[in-house]
Amino acid sequence: MKNYLRAAAERELVINAAQRPAWSGALNSTRYRGELATVLPGIYAIADRRHDFDVRIAALRSSDHEYIVTGRAAARLTWWPEIECEVVGVAHPVEVAPSAGFAFEQRRIGDHLQIRVAGLRVTTPALTVLDLITELGPEAVDEALRRRAVTVADLKTTLALTPKRRGNQLRRQVVADSRDAPWSQLERLGHRLLREAGIRGWRTNHRVEVHGAVYYLDVAWPGEKVAVEFDGFTHHGTRESFHYDRLRDARLAAAGWRVIRFSAENLEAMPETVRAVLRLSRR
């Protein structure tokens, strides 16, 4: 490959042929030899990097079309950088020919449901979450709430702004079940059990400061200083988290809090245990 082509491709990730007409012949010959590959029509990258997420995003940014990034790719660009994204979702009001590594969707998205990220149009976090519900279910909501990317109110407002979409029945169900802002599937189940048992007065993700340390309690009754913590293996299954949780509980106890911990296996016993502890705390 000619040095100036490689340098440009490494520096900018992609080369838009329409913006470099003088390079037309060199681009065609290096593509023919397999040194460059087409990412989008007229947009090239070093062949062994054409599947990289950053290269695909650079190709969209270089394009003359007003594409809108959606789904997993939008989440990765805004509030969920670790999410896997093998195919980049893209919306455009006009039908677009398929390209490997992209999922083009003919869809109109209003300006109020878009944001600009590094020169690209991207769906707002709330719309991104709603889009992901049909693929990931409640996990998309829990993750966004835990990262404080959205609020339940944001989701309700955006859902009302996007009526008659396929999948909206599921989205409405998941958003309704998220009304107490769970940060995990285990918390979601715990909230549901508390509601079904008619236990009231609790807050979720309650902020407590103890001697300069800030903790967020999964569920709390601030007046009684009673807290419930949900121990999912994903976030509590390491030696470090085990010791952290014990130190945290000790500090909260010293500040007058009673902390009750439940795992998924013993969650069914939670309502009666909570009732008993609340009764004791009110004596």
Q: Do 134 and 109 reside in the same domain of the chain? A: yes
What is the rounded CA–CA span in Å between residue 251 and residue 257?
9
Structure tokens at 147: 């990262």
Domain span holding position 272: 185-281
Question: Each residue of 214-264: pLDDT tens digit?
Answer: 999 999 999 999 999 998 755 555 677 777 888 999 999 999 999 999 988
pLDDT at 283: 64
Q: Give the pTM.
A: 0.88
Pair (171, 201) in one structural domain: no
Shared-domain flag, residues 37 and 115: no
The answer to whether residue 58 sits within a structural domain is no
Number of domains in the chain: 3
Residue 2 above 90 pLDDT?
Answer: no
Q: Which of 113, 147, 177 is the last residue of a domain?
A: 177
Residues 237 and 141 in one domain: no
Domain identity same for 133 and 211: no
Give per-residue pLDDT as tens, 119-159: 899 999 999 999 999 999 999 999 999 999 999 999 999 99
- Is 259 within 8 Å of 252 (Cβ atoms)? yes
- Residue range 5-59, pLDDT digits in tens: 888 888 999 999 999 988 988 888 888 888 999 999 999 999 999 999 999 999 9
| 193 located within any domain | yes
* Closest to 120 in 3D by CA, of 192, 68, 52: 68
Domain-embedded: residue 236: yes
